[in-house]
Amino acid sequence: MSQQLLNDITTRDYPYGFTSNIETEVAPKGLSEDVIRMISKKKNEPEFMLEFRLKAYRHWLTLTEPKWPNVTYPEINFQDIHYYAAPKAPKKKLESLDDVDPELLKTFEKLGIPLTEQKKLANVAVDAIFDSVSVATTYKDKLLKAGVVFCPLSEAVEKYPDIVKKYLGSVVPHTDNFYAALNAAVFSEGSFVYLPKNTVSPMELSTYFRINTEESGQFERTLIVCEENSYVSYLEGCTAPKFDTNQLHAAVVELVTLDNAEIKYSTVQNWFSGDPVTGKGGIYNFVTKRGKCLGKNSKISWTQIETGSAITWKYPSCVLIGDNSIGEFYSVALTNHFQQADTGTKMIHIGKNTKSTIVSKGISAGKSHNTYRGLVQMNKSAHHANNFTQCDSMLIGNACSANTFPTIDVKNGSSTVGHEATTVKISEDQIFYFQQRGISMEDAMATIINGFCKDVFKELPTEFAVEATQLLGLKLENSVG
């Protein structure tokens, strides 16, 4: 490695680092029962939701921050965060896009997510969330015709209270962990997807999260329920402006599948990851994502491309309850500069013949730390259950580190568990080989990464696969020294 190039590491600017000048209504900093009551009131929530929040809050007060993840950061002052921030809403309800602040629409357009009727993405329905509220949801009517409910969670609380009551907190209870409790207390927005029996979504669904307000937290909560024989593919994307301070993003995602249902959940996470040179700022991404395969032959598949955030701490997991149910986790986690990631999955096998696949690709560059942490658990009842895990690390340069902590817990002798792991290093000589053949460094990087990640990329909806490849290439530009 040549020191010179290492020192030369220049960074491409984070293209989504702009702030939008939008009149915003924010709750005063800090957390208390009053703040929670205020959030609940702002959202016009029924009593059961307020109860849900307060119960979680009271529990949260008894908890302390988890210290076991392999990441370090200064103590978070939870009283120094705004728990609610929303673009000032017009008095009347948003009935159509015409009621939406044009500045907001412009913001999303700049992010590559046009929402207006003329420009909206073909074949992808988008729910656009700005700070704590949903700005717009496209193709709502077309989806409803097909039987698919796709709307902001707050709207679901109003229109589908029974479903929300039944499933909210049923996969990730507020007692699950510190951040899940915090989220349950203060969550402000998120997406709700509901497919009744025998419904196949006619298009991809997608939620796009944007944090805009400095020192605000984003605590969204997503709930997807797929009843018997239904199928949906859902993608979330995220960006945030550049600030010197850190912002907390503590989301909860809950998925439920009944008999023969399938949910495919993909994430392309590109939150601002902090200043490349000083490491200042960036998002703390502390997220709890879990799916419950309740029904027989049901399937939940997580695909994640994690490229942003100062710190990522998340383990999208599957609880395989229904016999023959399938859980999948395909992950690319890339860290560069001062980023830290502790991510992986849990596959909890309960039903018979349940099957899980884990493919994790960790890419570390710069001075970053990248940890894979996984649990495969075969319960007593999990007869003939099967897991396969492939866990690969790629190191770029000499200053980064990668760890893997796979835990396997087998309580049923008829189940099988397989694990493979490799570590590779991208060398200066490899990049030079490409360049000597006339291929630019960016293309070289993208090609090598693509080769390394192809088993994960092929799981992404095609609309996003190309984008993901390019994103990784950009993130790693000039990082081989």
Residues that bind another protein (CB under 8 A): 1-5, 424, 427-430, 432-441, 443, 447-448, 450-452, 454, 481
Any residues with CB less than 8 A from the CB of 453 and at least 6 apart, and which? 332, 361, 363, 469, 472
Q: How many CB atoms lie within 10 A of CB 200?
A: 14
Structure tokens at 375: 């649990």
Any residues with CB less than 8 A from the CB of 96 and at least 6 apart, and which? none
DSSP 10-24: -----TT-------E
Structure tokens at 9: 């590491």
Q: How far is the CB of 353 from another protein (least distance, A)?
A: 33
d(CA 17, CA 480): 24
* Closer residue to another protein in complex, CB, 7/21: 7
d(CA 220, CA 207): 11
* Closer residue to another protein in complex, CB, 291/481: 481
d(CA 346, CA 328): 10
* Closer residue to another protein in complex, CB, 411/454: 454
Q: How far is the CB of 471 from another protein (least distance, A)?
A: 18
* Closer residue to another protein in complex, CB, 48/433: 433
Cα 212 to its chain centre, rounded Å, is 17
In 240-385 the beta strands, taken as DSSP E runs, fall at 246-249, 252-257, 262-269, 282-293, 299-306, 311-314, 317-320, 326-335, 340-349, 355-364, 369-378
Q: How far is the CB of 334 from another protein (least distance, A)?
A: 16
Q: How far is the CB of 454 from another protein (least distance, A)?
A: 7
- Alpha carbon of 43 to those of 133, 153, 155, 234: distances in Å? 10, 10, 9, 25
* Closer residue to another protein in complex, CB, 118/436: 436
Q: How far is the CB of 472 from another protein (least distance, A)?
A: 13
* Closer residue to another protein in complex, CB, 190/481: 481
* Closer residue to another protein in complex, CB, 244/429: 429
**What is the DSSP pairing of strand 282-293 with strand 317-320?**
parallel
Q: How far is the CB of 450 from another protein (least distance, A)?
A: 8
* Closer residue to another protein in complex, CB, 80/443: 443
* Closer residue to another protein in complex, CB, 357/447: 447
Specify whether the CB–CB gap between 58 and 51 falls below 8 A: no
Name residue 417's beta-bridge partners: 387
Using the 8-state DSSP alphabet, how is residue 46 labeled?
A: -
* Closer residue to another protein in complex, CB, 382/396: 396
* Closer residue to another protein in complex, CB, 88/437: 437
Q: How far is the CB of 302 from another protein (least distance, A)?
A: 23
In terms of DSSP H, where are the helices of 173-272?
Answer: 178-186
Q: How far is the CB of 452 from another protein (least distance, A)?
A: 5
Q: How far is the CB of 110 from another protein (least distance, A)?
A: 29
- Alpha carbon of 420 to those of 252, 315, 359, 361, 392: distances in Å? 30, 19, 10, 12, 8
Q: How far is the CB of 388 from another protein (least distance, A)?
A: 19
Using the 8-state DSSP alphabet, how is residue 99 labeled?
A: G
Q: How far is the CB of 481 from another protein (least distance, A)?
A: 8
Structure tokens at 188: 């402000």
In 24-123 the beta strands, taken as DSSP E runs, fall at 24-26, 85-87
Q: How far is the CB of 49 from another protein (least distance, A)?
A: 49
Q: How many CB atoms lie within 10 A of CB 277?
A: 11
Of 363, 358, 357, which Cα lies nearest the Cα of 341? Answer: 363
* Closer residue to another protein in complex, CB, 243/457: 457
- The amino acid sitting at 116 is T
